[in-house]
Amino acid sequence: MNLESQTSAVTCERRGKIFLVTIDNPPVNALNAAVRRGLMEAIDKAESDDQVEAVMLIGAGRNFIGGADIREFGKPPLPPSLPDVCNRIESCSKPVVAAIHGAALGGGLEVALAAHYRLAVAGAKLGLPEVELGLLPGAGGTQRTPRLIGARAALDLILSGRRVDAKEARDLGLVDRLGASEETLTEGLAYTQELLALKARPRPTREAKALEDTAASLAAIEDARAAVTRKSRGRLSPFKILEATQAAIEQPFAEGMRTERRFFLECMDSPQRAGLVHAFFVEREAVKLPETRQAAPRRIETVGIIGGGTMGAGIAVAVLDAGLPVVMIERDEASLSRGRAHIENVYDGLVARRRMSADAKSSVMNRWRGSTTYESLADADVIIEAVFEDMAVKEAVFAQLDRVAKPGAILATNTSYLDIDAIAATISRPQDVIGLHFFSPANVMKLLEVVVPKRVSADVIATAFELAKKLRKVAVRAGVCDGFIGNRVLAVYRAATDHMMEDGASPYQIDKAVRDFGFPMGPFQVTDLAGGDIGWATRKRRAATRDPKARYVQIPDRLCELGWFGQKTGRGYYRYTNGSRVGATDPDVQAIIDAERRRAGITPRSFSDEEIIRRYMAAMINEGANVVHERIALRPLDVDVTFLHGYGFPRFRGGPMKYADTVGLASVLDDIRQFAKEDPQFWRPSTLLVDLVERGANFASLNEGTRDE
Instruction: Enumerate the active-site residues.
Output: 110, 130
Q: Which is nearer to ligand 3H9, 52 or 274 (CB)?
A: 274
Rule CB under 6 A: choose which of 27, 548, 579, 587 binds ligand 3H9.
Answer: 27
The reply on whether position 157 binds ligand 3H9 by CB under 6 A is no
CB of 292 to ligand 3H9, least distance (A): 12
Taking contact as CB under 6 A, which single stretch among the options 106-114, 203-211, 312-320, 351-359 is the one that binds ligand 3H9?
A: 106-114
- Distance, in Å, from the CA atom of 607 to the CA atom of 634, rounded to the nearest integer, reads 35
Provide CB contacts within 8 A for 239, sequence distance 6+: 228, 232
Q: Which is nearer to ligand 3H9, 432 or 640 (CB)?
A: 640
- Distance, in Å, from the CA atom of 514 to the CA atom of 647, rounded to the nearest integer, reads 12
Rule CB under 6 A: choose which of 18, 59, 64, 67 binds ligand 3H9.
Answer: 67
Taking contact as CB under 6 A, which single stretch among the options 103-111, 449-457, 530-538, 584-592 is the one that binds ligand 3H9?
A: 103-111
Rule CB under 6 A: choose which of 59, 138, 370, 624 binds ligand 3H9.
Answer: 138
The reply on whether position 30 binds ligand 3H9 by CB under 6 A is yes
Q: For ligand 3H9, how many residues bind (rule: CB under 6 A)?
A: 25
Q: Does an H or E element contain 397, and which?
A: helix 391-404
Rule CB under 6 A: choose which of 134, 137, 518, 655 binds ligand 3H9.
Answer: 137
Q: Which is nearer to ligand 3H9, 664 or 705 (CB)?
A: 705
Assess contact for 652 and 134: CB atoms under 8 A: yes
The reply on whether position 133 binds ligand 3H9 by CB under 6 A is yes
Taking contact as CB under 6 A, which single stretch among the options 23-31, 220-228, 384-392, 648-656 is the one that binds ligand 3H9?
A: 23-31
- Distance, in Å, from the CA atom of 683 to the CA atom of 573, rounded to the nearest integer, reads 26
Q: Which is nearer to ligand 3H9, 528 or 708 (CB)?
A: 708
Q: How many CB atoms lie within 10 A of CB 701?
A: 13
Taking contact as CB under 6 A, which single stretch among the options 22-30, 189-197, 413-421, 593-601 is the one that binds ligand 3H9?
A: 22-30
Taking contact as CB under 6 A, which single stretch among the options 35-43, 133-141, 321-329, 429-437 is the one that binds ligand 3H9?
A: 133-141
Q: Which is nearer to ligand 3H9, 142 or 302 (CB)?
A: 142
The reply on whether position 82 binds ligand 3H9 by CB under 6 A is yes
The reply on whether position 103 binds ligand 3H9 by CB under 6 A is yes
- Cα distances from 188 to residues 54, 118, 120, 193, 318, in angstroms, run 12, 9, 8, 9, 39
C-alpha angle 286/291/295, rounded to 5°?
Answer: 125
- Cα distances from 315 to residues 121, 377, 417, in angstroms, run 35, 16, 18
The reply on whether position 275 binds ligand 3H9 by CB under 6 A is no
Q: Which is nearer to ligand 3H9, 128 or 306 (CB)?
A: 128
CB of 64 to ligand 3H9, least distance (A): 10
Q: Any idea of the CA torsion for 89, 95, 96, 98, to the nearest 10 degrees?
A: 140
Amino acid letter, 329: I
Largest separation between any pair of C-alpha atoms in the chain: 91
Angle between helices 253-268 and 237-250 (to 10 degrees): 170
- Distance, in Å, from the CA atom of 135 to the CA atom of 131, rounded to the nearest integer, reads 5
Assess contact for 466 and 300: CB atoms under 8 A: yes
The reply on whether position 28 binds ligand 3H9 by CB under 6 A is yes
672: burial class by Cβ within 10 Å (0-12, 13-18, 19+)? Answer: buried
Binding residues for ligand 3H9, rule: CB under 6 A, are: 27-28, 30, 63, 66-71, 82, 103, 105-107, 110, 129-130, 133, 135, 137-139, 141, 284
